[in-house]
Every structure is written in C-alpha cells, then in structure tokens.
Structure 1
Amino acid sequence: MTAVALTRIGTRASRLARTQTQTVADALTAAGLRTELVPMTSEGDRSRASLASLGGTGVFAAVLRTALLAGECDAVVHSLKDLPTTPHPGLVVAATPPREDARDALCARDGLTLATLPAGARVGTGSPRRAAQLRTARPDLEVVDIRGNVDTRLGFVSDGELDAVILAAAGLRRIGRADAITVELGLDTWPGAPGQGVLAVEIREGDATGTPLAAALAGIHDVDAWAAATAERSLLATLEAGCAAPVGATATVSDGVLTVSGSAYRPGGGESRTATASGRPDEAAAIGSAVAADLIAAGAGAWITG
C-alpha cells in the first residue's frame, strides 16, 4: 500500500489562526490526506504598532508566503481579508471554504449596545474601517487604537480599561467566545471588511493541478464564497485601497444573483458613501469594480489612502 505524503499547512501561531487552519486540515484529512500544522509568527503578530504604520496590507501574510515558496510548507491558510488584492507571484488561492459570519460584533461591558454606550465611552479597535464607522455612527465616543489577539482585546474590557471592543463575529465563534458578543452589527448598516469571514488556502502554482492536494482542495471549495469574495476584493482593488482602508463591502449570492454593496467612510467620521450593483456570479470582478467606480464618482476616492 502506497503511503500518503504528509501535507504541511502553514498558519499564524495565534489561537484564532490555528483554530481556523485546523478546520481546513480536518477537511483535508477527511479527504484522505495526512496533515500537519506549521505555526509561524508574522511581523504583525510581533509588533504592537498600528496596522497602518506596519504597512497594512499583507503584514500578516508575508511570512507564510515566504515559507510556502521556500518549500517549508505545502499550503497556507489566510483570513482572506488580510491578503493584498493582487496575486502573489508563484502562488494561487486554490480554495475558499464556505463563508462564516461576515459581521462585526460589539463586545461591551454590562451588556451595552452601540446605541446605549454612554457619551465618552472608550471603544477599542485596530481597524481604520471600524474606527471610521464608529466615528460616523457615534461621534461622541472615544475610539482607542488597540492591537493584540482576541483574548487580549477582550481583556481590555473585562479589566475596565475599555468600555467595549469591536471584533469579527466569525473569529469569536471559531474560538468559542461567542459569549462575549453583546450584539452583532448588521451588514446593511455596518458592512465588514472585504473578504471578512472567508478563509483562503494558498498553494504553489505548480501544485495547483494534477496533485492530491489540488484534488482535496477542490472538494472543500465553495463557489458562492469565492464569488462574493472576488466581488468585494475587486471593489477594493479598483479603489486602489489596502485592507486597512476605511472601506466595507458585502456581497451575497441568492437564486443565482450576486448582489454587491460597498461603503467608504471619511476617516474622521461624519460622512460615508454607499453604492450597490447586481449580476451573475461569474461577473463578480466586474460588478465589484462597477460599485467602486460609483463610490469614486460620489467623491469617496478622496478618503482612500491605501
């Protein structure tokens, strides 16, 4: 009997990243592969500087991609929202499993909601998009720039340093911390980051066809998640904006129709622009670009710093 080769899957070393990657590893194991996680620490994990000062786009992905190209692992798993919108030479996203919850979640003391937080309440986030959304929805709040893993950020609330933090609902659920959610923020009024809730499995181009790994990844790929993420990321690319830009996007597929909505926010708050378009899922990139063009025409381009 021929032994099954080991598939090494690179992941950031954080609890959330390892949990997300393990779901992919389990699916590939069920498809007949032997898998092993290879944890790595990125510059974004080591530093407590703001994402913008670290370069924003790709800061969490660089070390994984370098290791993949060097042959130190056979695949890597990213949160798609952390990936630059331009493909990396020599690599390809081979699978996007079904999307998790794309919403942001408020985690506040005493069961407070975004509407009931008192004036002057301190709300933490490391995301320029979330900061701009907060300043637009509640200009009377104090927005505090924070870094750290999920448990660290929740700790800012439990120890009284902050009144609330905003995190991705998907991440909280993946590590069993849904109990910390005060309220999920609706995508119609509070869109998430482009690609939020979607995992991306990246492999070397040479392994993308005719390999057991490619075949296994094809079995866990979700076409609706891919279409939605493609549209949202096309919107971001057309705006020439990075993953740290004050831009939210929501794309859904229903009855064969892809609907894309994008919103851009003035970083200091107070203004936003929203545009929407629909079409076939195989037109995802073009639809996302069309929404971005409408945002630019409405004056949002001046707020996007990339």
Structure 2
Amino acid sequence: MAMEKALDVLVIGGNRYVGKRLIAMLLAEGHRVTVLNRGSSPPPAGVAHLRADRDDERSLTGALGSRVFDVVVDQVCYTPRQAALARRVFTGRTRRYVMTSTVDVYEYEDSPALVREEAVDPSAVTVDLELPWGDPAFAEAHYGEGKRQAEAVLAAGGAALPYTAVRVAHVLGGDDDFTGRLAHYAERMRSGEPIAVPAVNRPATYAYVEEVAHFLAWAAGEDFTGPVNAASSGALSTEELCAAVAAHVPGGRAEFRSVEVGEVSPFSFRRSYGMDNSRAARLGFRFGEARQWLPRAVAETLGKGD
C-alpha cells in the first residue's frame, strides 16, 4: 500500500533482514530515507547515512544536528533506557515514532486464545531504569521485559511524541535469516537426531519477513498510536514447520522427543504464543495466511537444493 506523499524517514538500525527490506520498500515508494547506525556496514544506495551510537545521547544528537523527520522507525530499541534516550532526543524532531517490538512482551500471558494488544497495556507497566540494562547478558535474558518497559517509557511521553509499538511475531523467510532456527530442524533430520519438544507443545503465530517489512513501511505513513500486533493469520505447530523443512531434506523425517523439563528445540513452546491481528485489520492492513507463505519461506531460508 503506497503512501500518499513522500516522507522524510529515519531508520535506526536496519542493515539486515527486516530492516533492509523496509528500507528498500520505503525507497521504492519514493520516500527520503536516512539510516542511523554505528557504521559497521554500509547502508544501501540511495539513502543518507548518519553514524552514531544510539546509546550515547551526545553522539546521537551530534549526528542528527538540526535534522527533523516525518517518521522515525527504530529497529533496535531493546530497553527502557534506550527508549528514554530516544524520547528525549526525538521529541520535537519527528511527528511519529515507530518502535519495532515483539511477541515476547506477552511472555507472562498463557491462553489458548489469540492474545490481543490490551493484554499488555504499556501505561500499566512498571519501569525500572536502574536495572543493569547496559549489561548485554542481562538485556538478552530479559528481552521481553526490556521491550515491555521500553513501550512503557514511550507511552508515558503522551502526545509530545506520538508512537506505535509494532509487536512482531516470530519471523520466517528470506535467504538471509541469521537465526539458524529452521536450519536446526534440517540438521536434526539429516543426522537422524530427535527434535526435543515440550510434553505439551503449543502452537504459535508467525510472520513472513517481507510482510513485516511491508507492515512497518505502511505503519510509518499512518497516524494510529499505541501497540499493534504484527502476525500472519493461522497458528502453526512445530510439526507443521518440520513438515515444511522435511521437503528440503532428502529422506527428511522428523523424530520428536518429548521432554518435561530442560531445553527444547526452536519454535516449540510450553505456552501459547499466538497473537490476534484484528487491530491491524481494523486499521487497514490485512496479514496473509501463514500456511500459504510457509513453503516459500522455508525454501528461501534452506535453499531449494537442500
């Protein structure tokens, strides 16, 4: 869905996976795109490039100078400290702030029903800036909590910085999927090793990488605020994912091993991980059906020759 007018868009992060697709879509729609990162890898052609450490306020404000933007899309806001810094820096510099959030904000929810946005109200989340958010190990171990508190910081900013938090489901697809999660299944099938799953293994909702990028590009040009779920329709089980993977492994067959406690394979869950996408639909964006794009996504990631 193309936007009505060209926008000045700042993308923070965005050098790989969803981010690089988002940038390509924004450029294709005629928008002016600036990418801000540490400069570890060059941005794509056609964008302006700012180098800064987004965790260093002086570095960030120095790189931005007097620039203002119609929209900021923050791909790498993981903690409330980062959100607080962003709120200080971008209030008055942009009319809209889009934060990429995650299904993991719902980590304490466990219902067979698809979870709606109101299950986690950012305005009701307690923020603790004194936790060791600067410790990478702590931040990684508290990923869902970090995103939840980051949303809360933005919500507390009120009308001064209109924001939306796009709660993205587990993403699949692309030949540049760096997670290795689908490859885990393929390797188990090739070696004949069992795939560990919980004794009660819950399904989850997923999102196709191209569709997530499309949604973020679309959301940048809209004016709704607050959290919104980004997930394709139709929850998938581990068995369905493995069946799609098996099509790319000669003689591939998944053998599952049920475990009561301990580590399990990727994309197998002891609790429900399904998100309701009806708010996105009401706002004007309809996600596709996961079962329709799943074979394509797996083929892209594993390679048609596998």
TM-score (norm 2): 0.31
More strand by proportion, 1 or 2? 1
